[in-house]
Amino acid sequence: MTELHEHTALELHQLLQRRDVSPVELAEHYLARIERLNPLLGAIATVTPELALERARFVTEHVPTAAPLWGLPLADKDLHRRAGVPAQFGSRAFTDFIPDDSDELVQAVDAAGAVSLGKSATPEFGLPSYTEALSGPPARNPWDPSLGAGGSSGGAASAVAAGMLPFAPGSDGGGSIRIPAASCGLVGVKPSRGRVPAGSGLASLAGLGVAGPIARTVADAALLLDGLIAPGGYPAAHRFAVRAPGDDGPFLGAAIRGEGRFQLGVMTDSPWDDAYEIAIDAPSRAALERAVGFAEALGHGIEAMPPAPEPGYPDAFRTIWQAGAATIPVDGEAEALLEPLTRWLLERGRAVPARQLAEALAWLTAFEERVIRRFAPFDAVLTPALALTPRPVGWYDSSDGERNFAQQVQFTPFTSFVNVAGLPAITVPVDETEAGVPMGVQLIGRPGGEATLFALAAQLERRARRSRRHPPAW
């Protein structure tokens, strides 16, 4: 007999709709999984069993079953406040903080009928691309617990890959959904800027940070994204006059059908190439070549893209990354509780002159236009998801901010520029290393091009036949 966690999220949704399982039974099952597996993986920072079961009963009795995520379990990323639940933000400076209100993204998943089981682990304030905060254990990779789960949505990815959650929302300001998804053999979606009303990016510095799904299958990712976009049902209730172009969705149909023939560009250069030693290792290159082979066999047009150097990108993005840390809500003596990397970023960020920040913002806006023009001939652009295999826990320098930054760039040079350009992107696993660790690729779409990405990713997923594989920590 198939256990509940072996079902996809879409299958669980169908079981719930048929009343073959209840939200309470589903919550109890996943809470038991968390109790058994979380001590090994460190994926869930805070578990809330009593609140989860209370919520499951409430959903059963008071929320219409037409709600898009009705009864489905997930966890809030610990960067997002939920009223009455500890919010540590991955920091020792917030050990005892319990918010009185909930963030918009948390309100959205509640409105969609989901059941939160707790908070997924994140690095301190979500700044690094790995999840090894000093406030708790590192988030480990279920395929090999000696490896990290990536970041900053590393806890969410570890939990989904290990079957502790069917799917999970994350946030992505420079790759923080796609990096952990690729590290853990999952599908991760960074939506277009303005696509998700409760996590649009329009209010963040340089428009970088957006909310999106992490899931085991392309269809599950689309199911969650549809729930995040329109928790009360379509049409979506946008909060700003500006939003992503094209239709809001729903996208589940495109992900299930997986239809169409497209023109793909293949890109192996990055805007970091002039500033850092960027090398795509053999497993990452093999995954890209395998995806290209799948695309050719499916009848898609394939064209290698010549390099387009952007020597101003590293300095401009560094300025924004550091300036973003300037708003960390920690001052005075409490700064001693921050991790060395965070303190370095905070100090650098608060020292950034206004002119330098304004010039960086203007440069990145012009860069966005150049990227969109460069990608215009293609329906999607294919890149490695990561330049290197998932990194061992403890690999990153915890004290030297400059070296740490370089390590993060060398691990994942293909993600941050997508945030700067505001484009949608999806990662999908297509291969594995000799040790059995999954390796993926990234598809980058046109502005508002999520439907094409879901169709393409579904085709690659079917060819790769990886969606039903499970890690040893299962």
- Active-site positions? 77, 152, 176
Distance CA 57, CA 54 (A): 5
CA–centroid distance for 323 within its chain: 22
Nearest to 69 by CA among 116, 19, 103, 120: 116
Residue 219 corresponds to which tokens in the numbers above?
């269809």
126 contacts 455 by C-beta, under 8 angstroms = no
Nearest to 128 by CA among 396, 422, 461: 396
Edge-first strand order for the sheet with 210-215 is 167-172, 210-215, 187-190, 425-432, 438-445, 380-384, 263-266, 301-304
Q: Is residue 444 classed as helix, strand or coil in its secondary structure?
A: strand
Contacts of 215 (CB under 8 A, 6+ apart): 9, 160, 166, 167, 168, 186, 187, 221, 223, 224
**C-alpha distance from residue 33 to each of 12, 41, 43, 62, 193 (Å):** 16, 12, 12, 26, 34
Nearest to 317 by CA among 283, 258, 268, 270: 270
**C-alpha distance from residue 345 to each of 125, 127, 348, 355, 391 (Å):** 11, 9, 5, 19, 22
Residue 465 corresponds to which tokens in the numbers above?
């036949």
DSSP code at position 206: G
